[in-house]
Amino acid sequence: MNPAIALSRGLQAEVYKFRRTFLFWFLILAPGFVPAINLIIFLRRGHQIVEAGTNAWPHLLQMSIEPGNMLFPFFVMIVALFVNSIETTSNTWKLIYTQPLSRLTVYLSKVLVFILMLFVSLSLFGIFSIGVGWLVGIFMPDLGFDQAFKTQQFFLAPTRIYLMTLGYASLQFLISQQSKNLILPLGIGIGGLISFLILVQGWEYVEYHPYGFQFLGIGDYADLDASFWAQSKFMIRSLGLALVTFSVGAWLMWRKRIV
Amino acid sequence: MKIPDTIIAVRNLDFYFKDFKALDQMNLNVPTGSIYGFLGPNGAGKTTTIRVLLDLFHAKQGEVEIFGQSIRQHRHDILSRIGALIEAPSIYKHLSGRQNLEVLRRMLGLPKQRIDEVLEIVRLRENADKKAKEYSLGMCQRLTLAAALLNDPELLILDEPTNGLDPSGIIEMRELILRLNQEHGKTIFLSSHILSEIEKLVSHVAIIDRGKILYEGTLAGLQQQSNQNITVVVKHPDQAMPLLSEHNYQLLEQTATGFVVQVNTEEEIAELNRLLVMNNHEVYQLSPAEQGLESIFLNVTQKLDA
């Protein structure tokens, strides 16, 4: 069979099975968490945050990206877990691997749906954040959301976070795929994150810690003229790690005994 | 494509879990069009064999050919002509029965109406839009069978399909399997440890124990081969049984009125009778034992122990 047709079939099936799941609603609602809080803060205390006559958008950008960047690793861990645990809890690994698609196709379908889910959620995060600015601008026209701003920054910063995330996202995916235990992948993920937060205080090689790429590489996202590729070494390391880890995962699934 | 007379051919298959040899020089020949019973106690190697047949486990030694092709080299072609049900049902509980089939239909690239066709075959159409978590175990098994039938396979591999079902569920599943074989022309490879189930369904049988095939052939052949046991009815079986055991007779089972003894020749029957009479036992009856598959199975596996 044509590999493109096979992959398209695998993807269609993979997307379909998540309808009406916790994960489906989580992907839509979780990106709205930080924007919803920001909406309340701006509506209640907007004038205390933004000086009169200044542009409110940079404030919103900062109040969106920083907590978003901090919470995103937890989001990645949960998505990686549920994308895989849906098969473990349904006892369906053996079902999908006895269909006439190659093991690589079935594996790739899952990987692609996983990284697509992360991207879609980050895009929704950008849309919701801009939506907050527009909404506040309607209800509080004097707050400064009417001023000009490069709102694409609400997408560019999350895209950079996304690229710097794929490294540890691939690790979480691999651990979740190989483990039947639902708690273990979360434990390893949180452990990885905490170890970075400890090591960042003085370890000379901390910039190679995969759970910290998006913290170290986010840079001055408020500088609207800064290049998308500033601090690209973290993106490259993250993408390199993702390539290696997803390849190892493919090799493990190719030879795995499916039970 | 022409289907060979032997739909599954396994040659000298070994399979290890680390140092444990789970399958030992296994040979199987499943005739096309048959209902082939794969019989053995729990842990004998039935599910391991099925997983190797479906390429879920990769064996390092031996050959597995299905439809005359090697499973390792023609995985895609072979799996597109097989439907499988392996142990516990594989079902997404948050989806309805129909949606479960839709997931697989998308993987297989089949037309939508095929879902209704297979729901009809397994008689699940009325409950197709209920969530699978509301299904009984019997309905779950039928849904898994519907999933196995989606691609209209020539060969169905069913691993313990009646496991955990209540009596009516067992009867339904048995009728369904017979219908699939007789009306839809499917070859069915059926594993079970519920011996009476196999007896009522199969045309051919293989008996596996501890990874070894102890018998393979027709059901009638198995019964003929093992039809040398006799039922002994005496006044005091509790005294007669130890006497026979002391003289190396193999006692197979105790019945309501007597007990069953394994004999190899007619002379042995006369000798057994003489022994009982000489020891003052009143012998009421010596008759050929009617063997169910269960006792044949015990007989065959005990021969291995001896």
pLDDT digits (tens, 9 = 90+) for B213-260: 988 998 877 766 655 778 899 999 989 999 999 998 888 888 888 898
B88 touches chain A (CB under 8 A): yes
Which long-range CB contacts under 8 A does B44-47 form with residues at least 24 apart?
B44/B193, B44/B208, B44/B209, B44/B210, B44/B211, B45/B15, B45/B208, B45/B210, B45/B211, B46/B159, B46/B160, B46/B191, B46/B193, B46/B208, B47/B86, B47/B87, B47/B159, B47/B160, B47/B191
Q: What is the C-alpha separation between A185 and A169, in angstroms, rounded?
A: 11
pLDDT for B258 equals: 86
Mutate to test the interface with A, among B51, B91, B92, B141 (most CBs of A within 10 A): B92
Tell me, what DSSP letter sits at residue B215? E
Q: Which stretches of chain A score pLDDT less than 50?
A: none
Q: Check if the beta carbon of residue B61 is closer than 8 Å to that of residue B248.
A: no
H or E element: which one contains A10? helix A3-16
Please indicate if any CB of chain A lies within 8 Å of the CB of B74.
no
- pLDDT tens-digit profile of A35-66? 999 999 999 988 888 887 788 899 999 999 99
Quote the pTM value: 0.84
| The pLDDT value given to residue B292 | 60
Q: Are A4 and B94 in contact (CB under 8 A)?
A: no
Q: What is the CA radius of gyration of chain B?
A: 23
Neighboring chain A residues of B51 at a CB cutoff of 8 Å: 94, 257-259
Contact call for B107 and A5, based on CB within 8 A: no
- Of chain B, the percentage scoring pLDDT greater than 90 comes to 59
Please answer whether residues B49 and B71 qualify as being in contact, where contact means their C-beta atoms are separated by less than 8 angstroms: no
pLDDT for the residue numbered B229? 79
Query: What pLDDT, on a 0 to 100 scale, did the predictor assign at position B138?
Result: 87
Q: Do B229 and B287 contact (CB within 8 A), yes or no?
A: no
Q: What gap in Å lies between CA B101 and CA B95, rounded to an integer?
A: 10
pLDDT at B2: 55
Query: What interface predicted TM-score (ipTM) does this complex get?
Result: 0.88
Residue B305: the pLDDT is 47
Per CB-CB distance under 8 Å, the chain A contacts of B106 are: 9, 12-13, 16
Chain A residue with minimum CA distance to B145: A95
Under DSSP, the state recorded for B132 is: G
- Whether residues A90 and B90 touch (CB distance < 8 A) is answered with yes
- Smallest CA–CA distance, residue A252 to chain B, in Å, is 13
Give the span between the Cα atoms of A161 and A213, in whole angstroms: 9
| A-to-B residue pairs, Cβ atoms closer than 8 angstroms | 79
| A195-204, B198-207, B271-280: segment of lowest average pLDDT | B198-207
Sheet of B69-70: strand order equals: B20-31, B6-17, B61-66, B69-70
Q: Do A20 and B89 touch (CB under 8 A)?
A: no
B positions 13-52 inside 8 Å of A (CB): 51
CA-closest candidate to residue B271, choices B286, B290, B256: B286
Per-residue pLDDT for B54 more than 70? Answer: yes
- How far is C-alpha A201 from the chain's CA centre? 25
Chain A residue at shortest CA distance from B74? A100
CA distance B5 to B25: 22
Q: Which residues of A touch B82 (CB under 8 A)?
A: 98
> At what angle are helices B97-108 and B113-121 packed, to 10 degrees?
130
Which of A13, A21, A92 lies at the smallest CB-CB distance from B106?
Answer: A13
